[in-house]
Chain A
Amino acid sequence: MYGFPDKRSPHRSNQTKAEIQSLKAHISLKSSSYPSSNPNSLHLLPLTQHPRCTVSREKKRIERIVSKMLKALAIFNRKKNSRPFKDYYNQWFNTLKNKLLPGLRNSIYGSSPALISIHVEMLHHHFQSYYHALDLAASSDVSQVLFPDWRNSLEKPFLWLGDFHPYLFTNLVRSFLDNDSDDEDERNDDSEVLIPCLVDLGDKSVFSEKPWQLASSWKDPPKTLITQIEQIECGMRLMVPSMVTRMRNAQAGFVEKSAQDWLQFREKKEAAKAVVEESVKAEMDEIVCIFLDANRLRRTVLAEIISATTVNQAAQFLEELAQFLIGFRDHELLSEFEQCKTSMSKQCRLRH
C-alpha cells in the first residue's frame, strides 16, 4: 500500500550481491595464487615492490571496497526490511477509521450484536499493536517518537511522552459513568436513555439510537467496576509522577555534564563532538526506558479497562476512543484550525 522508496529493490539487491560475490572470489583467488612456494626470492626486492606488499595492498583495497559495499547493502537491507513509522501510523490510522471502527459500529448498531466481542477484541488488538510498534520505533530513535511529525498540530499539544496520557483512558470510562448518573439525575422520561447520535457506518452515515442494552450498560455499574477503575487510577498516580521526575533528572544530568564538557573541550571541536555523542547516548538510553515504561502503562491500563468492563461497555469505550483519535484528524476542522487566529491579547502575557 505504501510503496518503499525504491521499487526495483529485488533486482538491485541481487545485482549488488552478485558483485560482492565476484569481488570475494577475486580476493580468494588473489590470496591463493600468491606464490608462497618460493619465499626466498622475495627478499631481494625492495620493500615497497615486495609482491606480498602489493598483493596485500591490493587485497586491502578490495576489502575496503567490499566492506563499503556491504555497509551500503546493510543500510539498503535495513531500508528494505523496515518502513518509516509515519507510513506505518498512517496505515494503522486508516485501518482504524475505515475498517475496524465501522465494523465495531456495525456490530453495535447493526444486525450482528453477537459479533461485538470479536470486534472489541480486534480493536483492542489494533491499539496494542500500535503501542508495540511505538516501542520498536522508540528503541530506534526515541526523540522522534517523543516529538512525532506524524501527528498534526491539533494533536501535538495533547501528547504526553509521545502519545495520549494514560489518565485519558480512565477519564473516558469515568465520562461514561458520570454521564449515566447525570442522566439519572435529570431523567424525565424513558426516552432520554436512548441517545441519538450520528453514526458513521463506513459507507453511510445514519442517525441511530443506541440500543437500550448499550445505553443502559453503564447504568448502576457494579461496585467491582468502580473499585477496579479506582485501583487503575491509583496505580497511575504512583507511576506518572516518577516518570516526569526521571525525565527531568535525565535532562539535568545531561546538561550538567555538557557544561563541564564544554569547559573542558572548548578548543577541541572533534573531541567535544565525541564527548557529546557519548553523553547524548547515555541520556537517550535513560529516556527510552522512561518512554517504554510510559507506553507499558498505557498498554496495561487499556487492557485492564477492557477486562474490567463488560463486552458492551468495552465496545462503547473503544468506539469512543477510536472516534476521539479520528476526530483529531477531521480534515474540515483541521483546516479551519490551521487558519484560525488567536484571540489572546498582549495584556494576558504581562511580565510575571
Chain B
Amino acid sequence: MPELPREDPEPTEITPSAGSERQYPEREFTVKARTQTQLVLRRFLQHRLAVVSVFVLLAVILLAFVGGPLWKYSYTDITPDNSVPPSGNHPFGTDNLGYDEFARVLRGTQRSLEIAFSVAVLATAIGTVWGAVAGYYRGWLDSLMMRIADLFLTIPILAAGALLSHHFQTAGWWALALVIAGLAWPAVARIVRGQTLSLREKEYVEAARSMGAKDGRIIFRHILPNVIGQIIVVVTIQIAFAILLESSLSYLGFGVQPPDTSLGALISNAQSALQGGLWWLFYFPGIFIILISLSVNFIGDGLRDAFDPSQQRVRA
C-alpha cells in the first residue's frame, strides 16, 4: 500500500510555554489524518463477520498445523477401536479400520490448506503479471495474451484438473496445486488487466514515464501497488475456490491419494459410512471445509468493502 503523504504528523505533545496556563487543544478544526492502510483497516474492523472469520481461520490453521503433530494419535495410527462414535478419547470418533478421525481431519485440513494457499499464491502471481503486462502494453500483445487467457476459460477447470491430476497422481500434493493454479490464473489476469488499462492513463504514471522510469518499474512500483486491493480480494476468492476444487477432485478420486489424505478424500471415503450410520466420518471433514471456505469468503467480503466502500450505501 503506497503511503500517502501525511498532512499532519503524529499528534505531538504541545508543551505549554513556561508560566502560561493556557491549554492548547490538540486540534481545533482538523480531523486526524489517516493513511490509506489505516482507513482500510478501520473499515475492515467494522465488518464484524469478517473480523470473527479472521479468528476462526487462524484457529483452524493453528489447530491443523500445531495441534495435528501434538495430538496423541497420528493420522497413520491404527487404534484398537473400530467405528466408535465421538468420545473423550476420540473426539471425532474412528473409522472402520480404527483410524482416529480427529487426527485424520487435522491432517486433511493441513493438506487442503497447503494446497489452497499454494494455488492462491501461484495463480495470483501468474495472473497478476500476465494481466498487468497485457493491460500496460495494449495493442497486439494484449490481444494475444488475453485470447490465450480466454482459451483457458473455455475449458471446465474441474474436467481439465481431473485429467491432469490423474496423470500426476504419484507426484504428490504440490503437483495437484500446480495443476489447479495452472488452470485458475486467467480469471485473475482478467481483473488485473482491467484495472491496469485505466491506471496506465493516470497522471502519476505519465509523470513517472517522463522522468525516465522503465516499463518494469512503472508496472511493479506504480501500477500494481494501486491494484493491491483487488488483488487481495482475488486471493481470498482463489483460496475458497481452491479448497472446494481440491475437495471435489479428491471426491471424484483424482485428488490427494492414500496414504495421504485431504478433507475431500475423507468425505469421499465416508460416503458409504454415512449409510451405515457412521455420521461422524462424514460431518466433521465437511464442517472443516465449510469453516475454512466460509471464513475466507467473509474475510474477502470484508476486504472488498474496506478497499472499495462505494457499494456500501444507497444514495437514492
Chains A and B are bound partners: no
